[in-house]
Amino acid sequence: MKTLPFLRRLALFLVIPIAALLAILFRADGSTDEYYLRFTTPPATSLVLGTSRAAQGIQPHVLDSVLAEAGIHVQTMNYAFSMGLSQYGPTYLNSVRKKLAPSARNGVFVLAVDPWSLSATRVRGRIEFEESANFLAKMDLVNMHPNIEYLLTVYPKPLLGILVPDPRANDKRLLLHEDGWLEVSVPMDPASVAHRRTEKLAEYRNERLPNAVPSNARIGALLMTIDLLKPHGRVLLVRLPVSDAMLEMENELMPHFNRLIDLIARHEQVDQLDLSANGDAWTYTDLHHLYTADGARVTAMIARKLGESPPAVRGVVGHDRYPMLLGTERSHPAFTVLERGSR
């Protein structure tokens, strides 16, 4: 058979590339990018969900240690990503489903909520859910180490850069920890902070706010996410602190946001924690991302809330009682998908 010598020679040729590939795969770590490590850990029994605010602001190691002091022993994974990727919706929900350990019991689940994470974007007159075309929607394997699927099909930069980092790209500002916390180290002198703050403000005021539309589909997805997590432990809805300027825009976007979250929390019989008051008392790296030290303080507050006794069963509100849930986009495909789901 002439095929065997061919395969032997091919295997010999491939030894070096495969060895290089393996070296790359095993070299990838928290400095590779701001997402990779989250897809390499085992299925999680406790989770932090949300967008970049939660990714940077909620530190699982702080959460776990404060809870441990209260006698609650959990190992939390921060599975929050960013706007355009992990706003509540079918894409994120499916990914959370894959990340959640089916056997999880008595876990804690911190769901960071804000008007942006419950809004869709209007692009040329059409309502769009950006994340549906993003990699999170396509990823099947989220608990694999090394995560070949991510590195070979999602990772946007040349693979060799993982093994031999480009000396010109001296960007050490982002470090993703194994527990999913994204540590951001940027200059915190007043001028740098002011510069980033101005840029963010312009971005949100001029680009995001005019095109953001509160979304029933996203609210529905949040409800489904809570339903998914409740059997596995305690769920807490958290509104993280933001600067007053950001809060002002959020109030423009969804004036009744706190009421909505309150209704959801009552209906779902989960706790909530609103930390949006006195926003300017906290330190941010820009307009709304908490600085490391304050992130730890906020995380400790969240942990203490979780450490309290479970919420009492209060008046249950039916879904038809959400006044701001009924709106314009019930017919949107994303919402149809949700309605076809388990709910």
Partner 1 sequence: MLFNSLDFAIFLPLVFLGYWFVFRRRRSQNVFLLVASYVFYGWWDPRFLGLIVLSSLVDYIVGLRLHATGSARIRRGLLWTSIIANLGILGTFKYFNFFAGNLEGLFSLFGRPLALTHLDIVLPVGISFYTFQTMSYTIDVYRRQLEPAKDIVEFFAYVSFFPQLVAGPIERAINLLPQFQRDRSFDRAKAVDGLRQILWGLFKKVVIADNAATLADPIFDHYELHGGSTLLFAAVLFSFQIYCDFSGYSDIALGTARLFGFDLMQNFAFPYFSRDIAEFWRRWHISLSTWFRDYLYIPLGGSRGGLALSIRNTLIVFLVSGFWHGANWTFVAWGALHALFFLPLLISGRNRRHVAAPVGNSGLPSARELVGMLFTFGCVVIAWVFFRSANVEEAIDLLVRMCSPSLFSVPDQFSKQYITLLIFFLVVEWSGRHGSYGLQHIGARWRSWARWTLYYGVLFLIFRFTGQGHEFIYFQF
Beta bridge partners of 119: 214
Contact flag: residue 168 with partner 1 (CB under 8 A): no
Nearest to 32 by CA among 210, 215, 205, 171: 171
Burial of 289 (0-12, 13-18, 19+ CB in 10 A): buried
Amino acid letter for position 28: A
Q: Which of residues 148 and 293 has its CB atom nearest to partner 1 in the complex?
A: 148
Contact flag: residue 309 with partner 1 (CB under 8 A): no
Nearest to 214 by CA among 203, 222, 206: 222
Among 8, 13, 192, 326, binds partner 1 (CB under 8 A): 13
Q: How far is the CB of 28 from partner 1 (least distance, A)?
A: 14
Q: How far is the CB of 332 from partner 1 (least distance, A)?
A: 14
Q: Are 107 and 45 in contact (CB under 8 A)?
A: yes
Angle (CA) 131-306-185 rounded to 5° is 55
Q: Are 155 and 35 in contact (CB under 8 A)?
A: no
Amino acid letter for position 114: D
Q: Which of residues 5 and 318 has its CB atom nearest to partner 1 in the complex?
A: 5
Among 123, 148, 277, 326, binds partner 1 (CB under 8 A): 148
Q: How far is the CB of 6 from partner 1 (least distance, A)?
A: 5
Which alpha helices (DSSP H) does 190-291 contain, by range? 190-202, 209-211, 216-229, 244-253, 257-268
Among 25, 101, 144, 159, binds partner 1 (CB under 8 A): 159
Q: Which of residues 123 and 316 has its CB atom nearest to partner 1 in the complex?
A: 123
List binders of partner 1 among 19-48 (CB under 8 A). 20-21, 24
The interface region with partner 1, picked from 9-17, 43-51, 171-179, 217-225 by CB under 8 A, is: 9-17
Contact flag: residue 167 with partner 1 (CB under 8 A): no
Contact flag: residue 133 with partner 1 (CB under 8 A): no
Q: Which of residues 203 and 280 has its CB atom nearest to partner 1 in the complex?
A: 203
Q: How far is the CB of 192 from partner 1 (least distance, A)?
A: 27
Q: Which of residues 13 and 26 has its CB atom nearest to partner 1 in the complex?
A: 13
Among 156, 210, 315, 318, binds partner 1 (CB under 8 A): 156
Give CB contacts under 8 A, 24+ apart, made by 244-247.
244/279, 244/280, 245/197, 245/201, 245/287, 246/204, 246/279, 246/287, 246/288, 247/276, 247/279
Q: Are 287 and 247 in contact (CB under 8 A)?
A: no
Would you give the DSSP letter of residue 291? P
Among 23, 152, 293, 326, binds partner 1 (CB under 8 A): 152
Contact flag: residue 293 with partner 1 (CB under 8 A): no
Contact flag: residue 172 with partner 1 (CB under 8 A): no
| Encoded tokens for 234 | 């305690």
| Encoded tokens for 98 | 């894959």
Q: How far is the CB of 139 from partner 1 (least distance, A)?
A: 11
Among 22, 42, 122, 153, binds partner 1 (CB under 8 A): 153
Footprint of partner 1 (CB under 8 A): 1-3, 5-6, 10, 13, 16-17, 20-21, 24, 148-149, 152-153, 156, 158-161
